[in-house]
Structure 1
Amino acid sequence: MMNVDINEELPIIVYDNQCYLCVKFAKMIEFLSRGSFTMIGHYSDFGIKLRKTLGESATEMFWLIDKKTAYGGRAALLPLLKAIITTKHVKSSNTKVDVQCEQDCKTVKAVFIRSASLFSNSKKIDL
């Protein structure tokens, strides 16, 4: 299903790089994985290509992409924990979390909405 060559970059975390809370979440993942995941913002050039393959709801959640599956939102939480524990900690070339927060995303309402969306949105795509 993927039409973007991502095999060299796995595992990949795709996150909303225009959301303050999402960027903080991505930085936490980057720290816990010791930089071994490729971090891609939804609104980066590569992120836009990935969004096209993940579908219309791609920006509603963060994604974990491994060799066989793309996990979105709630469905990604357990595979993410497993990947953090089991992934060999080799520094990825694309680990830097990209911050482009241009919206009013630091408000209490925005934090609540984004936190709720983590648990309400879930998707799994076989690759």
Structure 2
Amino acid sequence: MIFSACGANKKLFHKILIQSKPIKDMNIKDLLPILIYDDSCYHCSKFASIAKSLAGKNILIVGHYTEIGKEIKSEIFPKDHDSTRMFWFVTDKTAYGGRAGILPLVFFILKQKI
């Protein structure tokens, strides 16, 4: 399903990206890999939508400010860490933040395509 930037409500654009599978009461290891992005930023939402279109259902994409995103971040990061400054690509071994997460994200997408 493709939405143009002019046709979709920009504030609700991030809700399109959340997958419909139920993930409550699941272990975080079952959800990996995860892309956590700033769902209040329009450009970040566009980045996440491109990642979603390329990765398909292989990556769980959630926003920083969603209930699921807050729950996942509370399990991964320490309480005094501000994780909302950048996007995060979380794999089973590492959490890559910001620019450091672009290459692992691209490699994961390409690996799934092969």
TM-score (norm 2): 0.67
| Aligned counterpart, 2:94 | 69
Give the whole-Å Cα distance in 1 for the aligned partners of 2:34 and 2:27: 12
- SS of the equivalent of 2:61 reads strand
| TM-score normalised according to structure 1 size | 0.61
Secondary structure in 2 matching 1:18: coil
Relative to structure 1, the CA distance from residue 54 to residue 87 in structure 2 (aligned partners, 3 Å threshold; closer, same or farther) is: farther
Are 1:27 and 2:52 counterparts?
no
The CA deviation string for residues 43-62 of structure 1, in whole angstroms up to 9 with x for no partner, is: 11121123333242310000
Q: Which has the higher contact order (CA 8 A, sep 6+)?
A: 1
State the identity as a percent. 40
What is the match of residue 40 of structure 1? 62
Structure 1's unaligned 5+ residue stretches are 90-127
Residue aligning to 1:54: 77
More strand by share: 1
Alignment-derived partner of residue 29 in structure 2: 7
**Unpaired segments ≥5 residues, structure 2:** 1-25
Aligned to 2:107: 82
CA contact (8 A) 1:11 1:37 kept: yes
- Does the 8 A contact of 2:62 with 2:68 survive in 1? yes
